Chain A
């Protein structure tokens, strides 16, 4: 297989003026599946997580995935381990990983609702979340990931971390969760988990 030399890669980078967005090492282009399958050891085959705090990523919006993965890399989105891992990928590679997972079917958890956890959840959903997370949390776009059928453990962690000022994506989420108690967050998390 012919390998572009460093000098050629450098030229391309200089010519098109997008050096930072080339793969970190321009020798060879790694395919979407080659890059993305390495994530499955933690996020499940094709991104369908087996739980609990580890989110399902297969079937999420591509724009959302690109932003989140990039923010991990730059440190804008604090993390335990994702930041360290994403530093190993160039922008094109992040784009490839996001494309791969966005193209996978969404697989909801098989968890069902536990009635007493949920009593107040539909009202909370309407009041705080629905303007962005429509259709019971099934809708999604670059700023609002799908929540229906996501693991409650992850949702709970994500909402708490945002409320406590650790990380919010997007920032305006903060206002929405700022006044929620732990119990309300738990109720919402289980509500979304049980939506399929």
Chain B
């Protein structure tokens, strides 16, 4: 498309359908031209933070956040919805807090990025010009990796790896399952969003089964031979749920190659598994927009300068959160939060003609194994030769021999983690 046709196209879309979430903001109507325009795509764990910290550290920058949905549903704590401990409403947030800060929050789906002319186009037809662009689109799925899987099949065989409707589908299937049934969780290969997630999910569902369907079984069919916080999870499963949870490693035949959704049958490398309920968590890659915009490499993820999160492929476009390749950092909400802040600081520096500051990054992830039993993993990172690396000696997992009080406290901290990280994002 050349510039002329694009301009015509945009003129014809003056009556735009893009909604301004939470009412018009100051920034939209600012009379004086802004120092710079930064557009952030994706209002999740990474994007909200980048937008807010940009606005906080340099209010003269005009910040626009583009999010396709009117509300955000958090994945963290969504396993508790599967366990029946909370509802989705408690995980749902709107963008009014960010609007109040002067960020222009637009409900629109970005369909195209023009890295040369520095603008993005929404499904509404709206065009958003930027000096710097931040992309935090989360993950999408590599459906082809398991034969018989597709987005349509996921309506029946849910992944529940994006919270919302998918979580509800899986919860209803678990509720409808008869006591004595078998629930399969198919866990993906690395790298993927939330490394401890499938194993926390097994614990949460076991918590539900043990009170409602105690004869049922949970089998995790894993593409991997090891997983995050493994020793703590396995000890916790056994302690609280006996032999209800079984883990089959990749080497033991856990790798799933195909599925027949009609008969709910999974084809492994050695055996077939027929389940009453199946949660297939697909192989993952950077969100669709990152793929279409050419920000991902052959790995499916986006290479970036790990100091600034600027794309190694397109100048002035930064990629943060699950979509980016961030050295030793896992794909987690806390990592996305930390990356959003480092990226915002780098962009503020660049706009003000300063060098990118020395970065500091942290990750903290809690998992809830049972109502009074939380565990955690932490990482503290720095940049070394252009790569994010663990600071040796720091971080790590909860001690295996933690006493009851510590475990109960960690469970409370898990909930407080959620309160605070979401207030960091949305207020």
A residues touching B (Cβ–Cβ < 8 Å)?
Answer: 1, 24-25, 27-31, 33-35, 37-45, 49-54, 80-81, 84-89, 153, 157
Residues of B within 8 A of A35 (CB): 360
B51 at the interface (CB under 8 A from A): no
**Which residue of the partner chain A has the closest CB to B376?**
A81
Query: What are 24 A-B contacts with C-beta separation under 8 Å?
Result: A25-B384, A27-B358, A30-B359, A30-B360, A34-B342, A34-B345, A38-B361, A38-B362, A40-B424, A41-B364, A42-B413, A42-B421, A45-B427, A49-B416, A49-B420, A50-B423, A52-B415, A54-B420, A81-B364, A81-B413, A87-B394, A87-B395, A88-B394, A89-B394
CA A39 to CA B417, docked complex, whole Å: 11
Interface string of B384-404 (1 = CB under 8 A from A): 100000010111101000100
Question: A80 with B398: in contact, given A54-B413, A85-B362, A87-B393 (CB under 8 Å)?
Answer: yes
- Additional 18 contacts, C-beta under 8 A, given A42-B413, A42-B417, A88-B362: A25-B384, A28-B358, A35-B360, A37-B341, A40-B424, A41-B417, A45-B423, A50-B420, A54-B419, A80-B406, A80-B409, A81-B376, A81-B378, A81-B398, A84-B396, A85-B362, A87-B391, A88-B391
| B47 → chain A closest CB, angstroms | 15
Residues of B within 8 A of A53 (CB): 409, 412-413, 416
The answer to whether A41 touches B419, judged by C-beta atoms less than 8 angstroms apart, is: no
Residues of A within 8 A of B381 (CB): 88
The answer to whether A89 touches B378, judged by C-beta atoms less than 8 angstroms apart, is: no
Query: B412 touches which one: A31, A38, A153 (CB < 8 A)?
Result: A153
| A146 → chain B closest CB, angstroms | 19
CA A154 to CA B156, docked complex, whole Å: 44
The answer to whether A52 touches B357, judged by C-beta atoms less than 8 angstroms apart, is: no
The answer to whether A85 touches B380, judged by C-beta atoms less than 8 angstroms apart, is: yes
The answer to whether A45 touches B364, judged by C-beta atoms less than 8 angstroms apart, is: no
The answer to whether A29 touches B394, judged by C-beta atoms less than 8 angstroms apart, is: no
| B278 → chain A closest CB, angstroms | 33
CA A50 to CA B398, docked complex, whole Å: 24
B95 at the interface (CB under 8 A from A): no
Query: B419 touches which one: A1, A29, A50 (CB < 8 A)?
Result: A50
| B217 → chain A closest CB, angstroms | 32
CA A27 to CA B359, docked complex, whole Å: 12
**Which residue of the partner chain A has the closest CB to B394?**
A88
CA A157 to CA B423, docked complex, whole Å: 22
CA A109 to CA B382, docked complex, whole Å: 34
Q: Is the interface of A mostly helix, strand, loop or mixed?
A: loop
The answer to whether B409 touches A157, judged by C-beta atoms less than 8 angstroms apart, is: yes
Residues of A within 8 A of B419 (CB): 50-52, 54
Interface string of B333-355 (1 = CB under 8 A from A): 01001100110010000000001
CA A85 to CA B57, docked complex, whole Å: 25
The answer to whether A41 touches B395, judged by C-beta atoms less than 8 angstroms apart, is: no
**Which residue of the partner chain B has the closest CB to A24?**
B391
| A167 → chain B closest CB, angstroms | 12
The answer to whether A85 touches B378, judged by C-beta atoms less than 8 angstroms apart, is: yes
| B353 → chain A closest CB, angstroms | 14
Query: A51 touches which one: B57, B383, B410, B416 (CB < 8 A)?
Result: B416
B199 at the interface (CB under 8 A from A): no
The answer to whether A34 touches B357, judged by C-beta atoms less than 8 angstroms apart, is: yes
The answer to whether B416 touches A54, judged by C-beta atoms less than 8 angstroms apart, is: yes
The answer to whether A41 touches B362, judged by C-beta atoms less than 8 angstroms apart, is: yes
B53 at the interface (CB under 8 A from A): yes
Residues of B within 8 A of A88 (CB): 362, 380-381, 391, 393-395
| A1 → chain B closest CB, angstroms | 5
Pick from A42, A49, A52 the residue with the most CB of B within 10 Å: A42
Residues of A within 8 A of B342 (CB): 34
**Which residue of the partner chain B has the closest CB to A90?**
B391
**Which residue of the partner chain A has the closest CB to B356?**
A1
Residues of B within 8 A of A31 (CB): 357-358
The answer to whether A84 touches B359, judged by C-beta atoms less than 8 angstroms apart, is: no
CA A27 to CA B385, docked complex, whole Å: 11
Pick from B376, B394, B413 the residue with the most CB of A within 10 Å: B394
The answer to whether B412 touches A52, judged by C-beta atoms less than 8 angstroms apart, is: yes
Interface residues of B in 165-207 (CB under 8 A from A): none
Residues of B within 8 A of A80 (CB): 376, 398, 402, 406, 409-410, 413
Residues of A within 8 A of B360 (CB): 30, 34-35, 38
Query: A43 touches which one: B337, B357, B395, B420 (CB < 8 A)?
Result: B420
**Which residue of the partner chain A has the closest CB to B423?**
A50
| A103 → chain B closest CB, angstroms | 15
The answer to whether A41 touches B358, judged by C-beta atoms less than 8 angstroms apart, is: no
Question: A41 with B338: in contact, given A50-B423, A52-B412 (CB under 8 Å)?
Answer: yes
CA A157 to CA B337, docked complex, whole Å: 28
The answer to whether A42 touches B420, judged by C-beta atoms less than 8 angstroms apart, is: yes
CA A35 to CA B381, docked complex, whole Å: 11
The answer to whether B345 touches A29, judged by C-beta atoms less than 8 angstroms apart, is: no
CA A54 to CA B394, docked complex, whole Å: 21
The answer to whether B391 touches A40, judged by C-beta atoms less than 8 angstroms apart, is: no
CA A89 to CA B395, docked complex, whole Å: 11
CA A111 to CA B421, docked complex, whole Å: 20
Residues of B within 8 A of A87 (CB): 380, 391, 393-395
CA A85 to CA B381, docked complex, whole Å: 10
| B329 → chain A closest CB, angstroms | 12
